[in-house]
Structure 1
């Protein structure tokens, strides 16, 4: 599918979709809690549907109501048929959260996933399993896990902190199922600390007590039971970043449904916008960004790596030379985002120097181009920002936004974006 974007006069109000990260965490916690939980304002998208589907196969009851998902949890178990696969589709969060939980269940689970996930790191999972005495086998796009029913050979796990936080979050969510509890040691400083705070926050909402140090390098969780609860999913800062960026470029744009005190890492977008000279106004749950001349920025994104496409596109029209660092893990997303961003900016006439963990971007005047989304939702949405100010742009693979933001193109039109979709 192609999105054909003409030069647009951007301005208006949209409500950001619910957080994908919190929706998936809440679904897993609710499925592990005996009784009925209600998840209000869940994100309905490909990734969250994948999580709901595998949890249903494990025995959770999920009933979709108008304003919430009712989840009846407890007593999860692997499917009785070895031919029934737990398909995580393209959701890395679902895979990395689910795998340690399956290791704590009794019996064998077969997890499958889309080919794109197979190229993303798996080694931390196997390191965790080896320390816990859990057997597993990996084939091209499936993973067999022989769960121990929470009977692990060790009550301690060590792993580096500079891996994806999803691996650490996954083992945190599984630790209450360990018969003797579990202590997690990080051997290097944690990156993406806010994602770990999100996980701890969600666990606490479902009655799990987590002990941890100030640096988020050691965690202790005793054996305990998840408790059912009513959970409200807050708005997604990652999805909001594209429209906040449009406000800075053309605006004004107001995004509602945001928690200014959120643990979400991509709230860092506000800092980036202010550093670049944009006017940012916070009023309750809404953020308004007014257009203004943008200036260069030197920004490290190791704690908010998903913001790379948004910040890089803004740097492409900012006065001066911007340097964006801390990008190693961005090469291991749905695409190699460092190269994807660099290639597409060059297509639009922007000077970019690409290094292993950084981009140096000299701001200029972007021109219309054919943009390869690399089937990466964040690439497609970020380059829609630039397309709106220069027009004459085609974004290929535009349907990839369904992964986290199915209504993106409709919201783009709401704020004045001129787009036609060619199936």
Structure 2
């Protein structure tokens, strides 16, 4: 532990690997002939579900004893069915696997939890059908679905990306396995940094992806080349420890999360800087220091980094003026209706909050004790845990273990970094310390 003049100890946070990078890397490696190593992967409910689904597709994925890396042995072509693929709660699996299996041969049944089955898939399925894929859904909207695969020729297509950028990313990652490659254009794209991340990782594995003058992307056929990749810490997950630094006046550093990260959610630190925190980003790490005051009185567009809007909203009651967050309408279609869930929980804490189709305004106020409804959404749980750190004794989560979706050790790490952190366990639940 080091110190920064005037700001006390610097805490190095242990943030697990990026879910977005892990699942993309494993999928791309599955399409590359030979063995690739995915180093420092995230090991969580979502990534294990994705890994298991690829294993059912015939890909060999073997972990080292402590999961320091996963070895992925791909075939250089689409998978061969039949196979049943269980996606659990993983949205990336639901959006990335159908295009991938459509490039293969055989019948694939793709299913998930009731929560995942309620999430929209229509733009992706329409795009796949226009490319010639035989896709059948029981409800006509999303999972469960059946793909009768006979390869994809590819071609040229426009995909509605107003609900999720994952539709576009799924098509792009499958494109090198199509006979003619793919030219794809996004319509009303949200969360564009995730598409940039996809393209960067595809190129790392040898795919030829070119930007066209009309804004579309051309992916050449020819597949991928097996290679190794290091997964950096998850920037979305880092938002919670960075926000905790901002509201406690401490300094938190995330080693390995560099200024040039391909993860768009690292831009959350710019929002914290606007709110009064001090930020330092280098080629090897990013740090946030709280200054003892959280500023409000501004509006911010967080459409491209919407997974972090809840973190800001949850700490805004501690600011000196209201904050409005807009551009986040697609967050209503995530693990929960996140705008509604945040509004509900802040109001339960006695905080004045207003919402619209794609915005939320949160006013300052002293939170009163409340039981937070997590809606099985890991990001709701982690965001409100930061408010609970700043105001001990006010926050109880109804589902504290839903954090296992992306950060199984979240509560333990918060307690390690901030000894005052109280595990916000559910009513009737006992913590490890109490056992």
Structures share fold, TM-score greater than 0.5: yes
Question: 1:419 is matched with which residue?
Answer: 423
**Structure 2 counterparts to residues 92-107 of structure 1, below 5 A:** 92-107=91-106
Q: Is the 8 A contact 2:328 2:359 kept in 1?
A: yes
Moved over 4 A (4+): none
Q: Is the 8 A contact 1:58 1:76 kept in 2?
A: no
Q: How many residues align?
A: 407
Question: 1:63 is matched with which residue?
Answer: 62
Structure 1: distance between partners of 2:151 and 2:301: 41
The offset of 1:11, in angstroms, is 8.0
Q: Is the 8 A contact 2:87 2:113 kept in 1?
A: yes
Structure 2: distance between partners of 1:183 and 1:280: 39
* Unaligned segments of structure 2, at least 5 residues: 1-8, 431-435
Q: Is the 8 A contact 1:301 1:308 kept in 2?
A: yes
**Structure 2 counterparts to residues 152-231 of structure 1, below 5 A:** 152=154, 155-188=155-188, 190-213=189-212, 217-231=215-229
Q: Is the 8 A contact 2:107 2:146 kept in 1?
A: yes
Summarize the Cα distance change of 1:238–1:214 in structure 2 as closer, same or farther, 3 Å threshold: farther
Question: 2:124 is matched with which residue?
Answer: 125
Q: Is the 8 A contact 1:59 1:76 kept in 2?
A: no
The offset of 1:420, in angstroms, is 6.2
Equivalent of 1:408, from 407, 410, 434?
410
**Structure 2 counterparts to residues 253-332 of structure 1, below 5 A:** 253-257=251-255, 258-283=257-282, 284-296=284-296, 297-332=298-333
1:235 alignment partner, SS class: coil
Summarize the Cα distance change of 1:214–1:185 in structure 2 as closer, same or farther, 3 Å threshold: same
The offset of 1:161, in angstroms, is 3.8
TM-score (ref. length: structure 1): 0.92
The offset of 1:326, in angstroms, is 0.9
The offset of 1:309, in angstroms, is 0.8
Question: 2:5 is matched with which residue?
Answer: none
2:303 alignment partner, SS class: coil
The offset of 1:14, in angstroms, is 1.4
1:252-302 Cα deviation digits (max 9, x unpaired): 131323122112121111111011111223353141322421111311111
Structure 2: distance between partners of 1:146 and 1:370: 46
Structure 2: distance between partners of 1:315 and 1:225: 47
The offset of 1:196, in angstroms, is 0.6
* Unaligned segments of structure 1, at least 5 residues: 1-9
Structure 2: distance between partners of 1:368 and 1:343: 14
Q: Is 2:371 the partner of 1:370?
A: yes
Relative contact order, CA 8 A, sep 6+: which one is greater?
Answer: 1
The offset of 1:76, in angstroms, is 4.6
1:85 alignment partner, SS class: strand
Give the alignment's Cα RMSD to 1 decimal: 1.7
Summarize the Cα distance change of 1:244–1:214 in structure 2 as closer, same or farther, 3 Å threshold: farther
TM-score (ref. length: structure 2): 0.90
The offset of 1:391, in angstroms, is 2.0
Q: Is the 8 A contact 2:10 2:253 kept in 1?
A: no
Structure 1: distance between partners of 2:286 and 2:158: 41
1:98-147 Cα deviation digits (max 9, x unpaired): 11111111121111111111221111122112211211111254110111
Equivalent of 2:246, from 245, 248, 263?
248
